[in-house]
Structure 1
Amino acid sequence: MKSSKLIIGALAALGLTAGMASAQAEEDRDAIAERLKPVGQLCLQGEDCGTASAAGSDGGGDNGSSNGADGESIYGSVCAACHDSGAAGAPVRGDEAAWSDRTGQGFETLLDHAINGIGAMPAKGGNPNLSDEEVQAALAHLVEPVMEVPDLGGDEAAAEEEAPVAAEEEIAAAEEDASADDAATEEDAAADSGLDGEALYASAPCAACHASGAAGAPVVGDAEAWAPRLDKGIEALYESAINGIGAMPPKGGATLPDEEVKAIVDYMVSQAQ
């Protein structure tokens, strides 16, 4: 009986040991596979390689982040196969000598080449699923060590925000200029009307009050009395004379055309200036 128990215990221990060894072997195989995994994937033109922007890097700041794309991750999954090794004559990232002629063409030209392809490099590195913005972000990461990369999308967005404000300011300025021109035109029209404001003043009921100051009317020639009225502007004085104000009836109580009333106002104003 004791022998049977010992045999069963030995078999159980042997089975547990074998299971642990199998699990350890499985972990070792996974670790080896992870170490042997390639850092990039070469995608040939015409193949469906899937989108490269899904996997992101937890690394530091990236030049592609300003337009919402992870340039470093896209570079690693699409571009690194050639630009880390120099395969097919691709300039290696960070090699200033290899990039000198290319960076001299400017970022926009390099972006055009990256999107549309050039030489042995297919359009968008062979991944047609990439958007232009994702290619731009990957290019920014690629050339960042060898040239100054423009702020992706920042200036354009700012310009778009400022454009409506600038347009509104221009419209307001144009309206203000138009109002000033209209006022000047009306004043010039009154001055060039050929009407004799002094004669009209003398023959109209205006002189009855404006020569004596009756009913509080400002006397013609009294600059101090006219000063606050002149501050209102000629248009306000025309309106008061034509429509009446305070004790003064419309058009001074006479049946005069608006042009003649304005000519009288112009005369009285000229005497107070």
Structure 2
Amino acid sequence: MAHYTPKDPMAKPMLIGGLVLIGATVAVLVSNLFSTIEKNSIKGEIDTTAQVAAADANLAPIGKVNAVDKSIVKEARSGEAVYTAVCTSCHAAGVLGAPKLDDKAAWAPRVANGLDGLMKNAINGLNSMPARGGDPSITDEELSNAIVYMTGKAGHDLSSQVKAPAAAQAAPATTDAAPAAPATTDAAPAAPATTDAAPAAQAAAPTPEVVPATEQAPTAAQAAAPAATEAAPAAQAAAIDGEKIYKGICFSCHDVGVAGSPKFGDKAAWDPRIATGMETLYGSSLNGKGAMPAKGGNPALSDAEVKAAVDYMVSHAK
């Protein structure tokens, strides 16, 4: 006898409902899958911004060239500016007989040579005064300005003798044909030339710093004595560029050994001075000694700057 199972009327609806539910679930999952793929996919070209920046940095030039129009002439400094930068070290204190800025009597015999005569000596140098006061960057026009400024301060007006820059630069050449006449009439000036270490042309460009050989056991440049005993001064000067100070004022005497000052890098000349000790050298530099004015003739320098310049010179003499 066969077993009879009664037919469930709900079986079919439940099967259909289950299939619909499964289909809906699959549809949602597929939709989410495509949505995720779309959002995380890369669209368009690859971003090469970083690579381009790196390439530009690698290809950047290592230097550059600045074109300069040489037809544009640099504006000449005023006479006062040139005097303050170069001439003051000698003419403020009358170093080596240089006429002081406001000494009318000292300037009188020099002014008698005229602006051209003063310019010739200023350009070429004379006795202890180096050419152009030791600063080759000074132009003829600036020398002329400095001479007129200094003589004017002493009560002598040479402004009427000033020529146009081009003519002023040519003046030494045009007046070179006449030295014979001044030489014959300047028998007396010959003596002043030997006694006045700073002749007429020193009005334009005197040497900034003078260090006599005989009177300067401790010169203004001998400030690099034993580091062990000078730790404090050395530390103070370390932050200052001594080379810059030296090239700004000290070089005019120490490069050529003006008035016996020890030449830069001359170990034999520096040894006895270094032996006196740093404090002695600093003191001579700051207060002056013999023909050397205090602070090399530039009172605007700080004590630390003077010491730094001394340290620089001594370091190159060891």
What is the TM-score normalised by the length of structure 1?
0.33
Identify the structure with the greater helix proportion: 1
What is the TM-score normalised by the length of structure 2?
0.29
Larger Rg: 1
